[in-house]
Structures are given as structure tokens and as C-alpha cells.
Amino acid sequence: MKTKILIVLISLFLPFAFSQEEKPDTALSLEQLLELVQQGKFAESEEATKREQKFARERSRQATLLANAKAERARLEAIATQLEGRFEANDAKLVVLEEQLKTRLGSLYETFGHLQGVASDTQQQFESAVTSGQFGQDREIFLKDLAKRMGEGISLASIEELERLWYELQRELIASGNVQKFEATVVDNEGQTSQQNVVRVGNFNAVTEGEYLTYLPARGAFETLPRQPGRYLGGTYDVHDTSTGFVEFAIDPTGPQGGALLTNLISLPSFFEQIQYGRITGYTIILLFLLATGIFGWRTYILFNLNKNVNKEASGTKLGNNPLSRIFDVAEKNKGSDVETLELKLAEQILVERASIDTGIWLVRLISVVAPLLGLFGTITGMINTFQAITLFGTGDPKTMANGISEALVTTMLGLMTAIPATFMAAIMANYAKNILTVLEEQSTGMIAVASEENKAQ
């Protein structure tokens, strides 16, 4: 039995024995093993005792900290209760004092509200007014401070403040009905600032020479509009150059800075910007128009000179190198021929000359016919794009359909703008050609008649 107990003990403590740093070369005896087990037990017991002592010390310290924290919380709660009572007392006292203040102020209390409303509304109006570029932003600071103090309802406005409020209102009223020139800071489209002479027309518009301006509240300066209403810029020079009398000038009465009319006017696309909506069809029509114009200019110059030379040749002036001179050469070469032969020879020469005289007319006529057809084609493609936009985005936002409708209308416009002038061009060229051919035919007929009379006389 003892032997079994020793074997079990050996199997339990054998790993601890081999985990020691010093390992004997030979196996331990049972007595040595028991001694090692006893030493390990004593060491573990001593370590556990140290841990228990450390835990007890930490527990005592934590208990002290907890007690201190509870005492601090109790002290702060007492202070909070005291402050809450004082707050309630002060709040009740404040209600009584406010009632006393209202009673003593009487009708003046309503004056606070009126002054606050007037100062606040005026300050908001002055922030975006064109006149602020002339009078400065000091009045806005004054009105903002006055509105704030009147809103608190503690102190009364002084006589000087009331007089200044009246003065600012009166000055703005007078400024809205006159035209003044002054020097102010102007910011151009590149962000560069400069001092320029500015003319303010009431509280509607401010302009420099050749430019309309808008007021920048954040910078307290004027800024040139990104785009200018070109056809109205002439009046900007007149108001600068004229000190008295009446001048023609375009103003926008819908707002303090020009309002919606001027904004919409400068946002409208120009003619060349509208052409871009025509896309490839529009550009094709423009190319045809340029081609027709080029042919018209080239052939009209030639036909004009031919018509002049032919008329001179018909009047008896020998110029040479023109259709009529070549007709005369044919008649001279066939002077002894019979009438029928001469008639055929002259008719042949007229046909030869007609081909060169009518050059280019057919192409201009073709362009006058094709251009509106291309415009109709662009209208169809534009409406297709419009219906596709409606299918994808619905009809809630008209801007989604604007491109397609613009394409349809612009291509139609370009087609008509090309067809109408091209029709006139072809008519002018045909008229010149007809006049030349008429002279040729008249001279040929005359020469045939002379030859026929000569033959009869013989």
C-alpha cells in the first residue's frame, strides 16, 4: 500500500522536479523527493501569505478612497442645494424687477419693440443696398448694435441714437431718388481691386464707364458683372459724361441691385451660344451657309464684271476676252456662210458661254432647298431627345427637356436663316447671268438678221 502511494506521489510531482534549473544526472531517491515536495509546499504557503497581506493593504486603501469620495459628493450636493435655492430666489426676484421695469417704462416698453424692428429691418435692407457702397458699412454696425440693445430691453436709446436712425432713413430715402457720382472700390472679374468713379442711379443700379456693377456686402465693394447687357452699355458712358440734364439709361426697377430683369438678361445665351444647341446638324447648316456665301461672293464679282464688259462691248467698245467678243469672233469667222450655218454657230457659242456664266448658281439653289430640310431633321432629332428625357426623368423639371427643345428650335432657325439668304443669292446671280445671256442673244439675233438681209440683197 505504501509503495502505491509513493508511486502516485512520484507521478504527481515528477514534472516539478524536472522543471528546476538544476537537474541531477541520476534518478532521485524517495527521501530526496519527499524533501523537495516539502520545500515546495512551504514556498507556496509563504507566497500566498504575502499576497493575502498585499490584498488586505489594497482593500484598506480603496475603502479610504471610497469614503473620501462619498464625503466629497455629500459636500458638493450641499453646495448644489444651496446654489439652487439661491437661483430660485434670484429668479423670483428677477420676475418682480421685470414687472417693476415694465410698469415704470409704460409706453416706452413698446418703443423698444418698435426701435428693434425698425433697426433690424433697416440693417438687413442696408446690407444689400447699392447705397452701402457709397455710405459705407458704419451705419450697418450702428443699426445692428441698436437692434441688439433694444431687444434686451434694459437701456433706453439716447436722443443722438434716435436722431441718427432718423438721419439714416432720411438719407436712404433721398438717395433712392437721385443720381450721384463718387469714387469707390471696384473688383473686376479677375479679382483685382481698383478705385474707380462709380455712378449710382437711385438704389437700382451702379455703373462705371461701360460696365454694370453689383454690390458685395461681404467686402463692402462693387464688383463688375460676369456678363454685361451689351445693347444697354451706351448709357453708362452718358451718365458719366453728363452732369445735368437728361440722358437715356436702362435701369432695372425690380431690386436694389438690378433685380431679376438684369440677372435674367445677362444669363440669356448669346446667338453664338445658342448655335451650340444645334449640335452636328446646326454646324452642318452653318457650313452650307458659308459655302453659299463664298460662292455668291465669288460668282457675283465675276458676273458683275462680265455684265459690265458685255455692255461696253455691245456699245461698240472693243475690250476682248468676254463672251460677246467671242460671239463676234465666231460671226467674223463665218461671215461668208449662209444664215442657217451662222445661226447654228452662234447658238453653239452661246451654249458654251452659258455653261461658264451659270457656274455655281445650281449649288446655291440646292443649298437653299437642303438647308430647311436639315433644319427639319434637327427638329426631329431634338424632339426625340426631348421625349427620351421625359421617359427617363419625367416632366417635373423643365430643364431636363430644355436641351432637346433647344436643338429642335435652333436647327429650324439655322435652316431658315440659311435658306432665305441663299434664295436671294441664287436670284441675284441668276439675274446677272440672265442679263448677260440676253445681251448675247440680242447681238446674235442682230448679226443673223444682218446676214439674212445681205443674202437677200445678193
pLDDT of 400 strictly over 70 = no
What is the predicted pLDDT for the residue at 292?
92
Residue 389 has pLDDT above 80, yes or no: no
CA distances (Å), origin 50, targets 42, 45, 47, 322:
13, 9, 5, 135
The structure's pTM equals: 0.51
Instruction: Return the pLDDT at 118.
Output: 85
Distance between CA atoms of 291 and 113, rounded to whole angstroms? 74
Instruction: Give residue 294's pLDDT.
Output: 92
Q: How many angstroms separate the Cα of 316 from the Cα of each of 309, 347, 431?
A: 11, 21, 23
pLDDT band at 33 (very low <50, low <70, confident <90, very high): low
Mean pLDDT of 268-293: 80
What's the whole-number average pLDDT of the chain? 78
381: left (phi over 0), alpha (psi -120 to 50) or beta: alpha
Q: Does residue 44 surpass a pLDDT of 80?
A: no
pLDDT for residue 24: 43
Q: Is the pLDDT of residue 15 over 80?
A: no
pLDDT at residue 130, rounded to an integer? 82
What is the average per-residue pLDDT within 202-214?
Answer: 82
For the cut 70, the answer to whether the pLDDT of residue 214 exceeds it is yes
Q: State what percent of residues in the chain have pLDDT above 90.
A: 7
Residue 239: which residues within 8 A CB-CB, separation 6 or more? 179, 199, 201, 207, 247, 249
Higher pLDDT, 162 or 155: 162
Has residue 38 got a pLDDT over 80?
no
Specify which of 211-220, 236-245, 360-369, 392-401 reaches the highest per-range mean pLDDT: 360-369
- Going by pLDDT thresholds of 50, 70 and 90, the confidence category of residue 422 is very high
For residues 116 and 201, the answer to whether their CB atoms sit within 8 Å is no
pLDDT higher for 337 or 356?
356
Number of H helices, E strands in the chain: 14, 5
**Residues 284-310: b if buried by 16+ CB within 10 A, e if exposed:** bbbebbeebbebbeebeebbeebbebb
User: What is the pLDDT at residue 8?
Assistant: 42
What share of the chain has pLDDT > 70, as a percent?
81
**Which pLDDT belongs to residue 76?**
92
The CA distance from 169 to 161, in Å, is 12
pLDDT of residue 158: 81
Query: Looking at residues 10-32, what average pLDDT do you find?
Result: 48
**Max avg pLDDT among 147-161, 241-255, 347-361, 422-436:** 422-436
**Mean pLDDT to the nearest integer, 105-131:** 77
Domain boundaries along the sequence of the chain: 38-105, 108-176, 180-265, 276-457
Residue 134 — very low, low, confident or very high, per pLDDT cuts 50/70/90?
confident
Treating both helix axes as pointing N-terminal to C-terminal, what angle do 30-105 and 108-127 enclose, rounded to 10 degrees? 110
Q: What is the pLDDT averaged over residues 300-328?
A: 80
Cα 160 to chain centroid distance, Å, stands at: 46
Q: How far is CA 427 from CA 300, 370, 433, in A?
A: 11, 16, 10
Q: Of all helices (H) and strands (E), which one includes residue 198? A: strand 193-201
pLDDT at 420: 92
Judged by average pLDDT, the poorest of 16-25, 186-195, 386-395 is: 16-25
Please tell me the predicted confidence (pLDDT) of residue 172. Answer: 86
How many Å from the N-terminal Cα to the C-terminal Cα in the chain?
Answer: 180
- Return the minimum-mean-pLDDT range out of 60-69, 124-133, 330-339: 330-339
Distances (CA, A) of 24 to 9, 27, 28: 19, 7, 8
Per-residue confidence (pLDDT) for residue 397, from 0 to 100: 64
Q: Picking from 80-89, 147-156, 209-218, 396-405, which range would have the lowest pLDDT averaged per residue?
A: 396-405
